[in-house]
Amino acid sequence: MTVVKDKLEADKLLKVAEILKTIAHPVRLKIIEVLSDEKRTVSELMEATAIEQSLISHHLIKMKDKGVLSSYREGKNVYYQLVDDHITKIFDCMEGCSFI
């Protein structure tokens, strides 16, 4: 059996839990998946996810708040992007699990 190398401190567990909670939603995972390719505008994300404007905005802002995404405006559009690509590894990680 593999042992987790270093035990995570309680506060780090909290932080990890917070991030996981932030992304533990099918739409948010889809957003991450789409953004793994490259940055997208809100409109593009709406189309990619088939989620209406206000709701996707809520999702995006929450993910931004929690540090997973960042955004910048360019004219009428706002682009969202992953703060750290590393997060996409979570798909590999999960897919490796027998129960998925």
Enumerate binding residues for DNA (CB under 7 A). 21, 24-25, 27, 41-43, 46, 52-55, 57-62, 71, 73, 75-78
Q: Does the protein bind a copy of itself through residue 33 (CB under 8 A)?
A: yes
d(CA 99, CA 97): 5
Tokens 């997208």 appear where? 40
Please report the DSSP string for 35-77 in residue order.
HHH--EEHHHHHHHHT--HHHHHHHHHHHHHTTSEEEEEETTE
Identify residues 37-56 at the interface with a copy of itself (CB under 8 A): 37-38
Q: Which stretch binds a copy of itself (CB under 8 A): 34-42, 53-61, 71-79?
A: 34-42
Q: Does the protein bind a copy of itself through residue 85 (CB under 8 A)?
A: yes
Among 16, 47, 53, 65, binds a copy of itself (CB under 8 A): 16
Nearest to 82 by CA among 42, 21, 19, 40: 40
Q: Does the protein bind a copy of itself through residue 19 (CB under 8 A)?
A: yes
d(CA 62, CA 57): 8
Q: Which stretch binds a copy of itself (CB under 8 A): 54-62, 72-80, 86-94?
A: 86-94
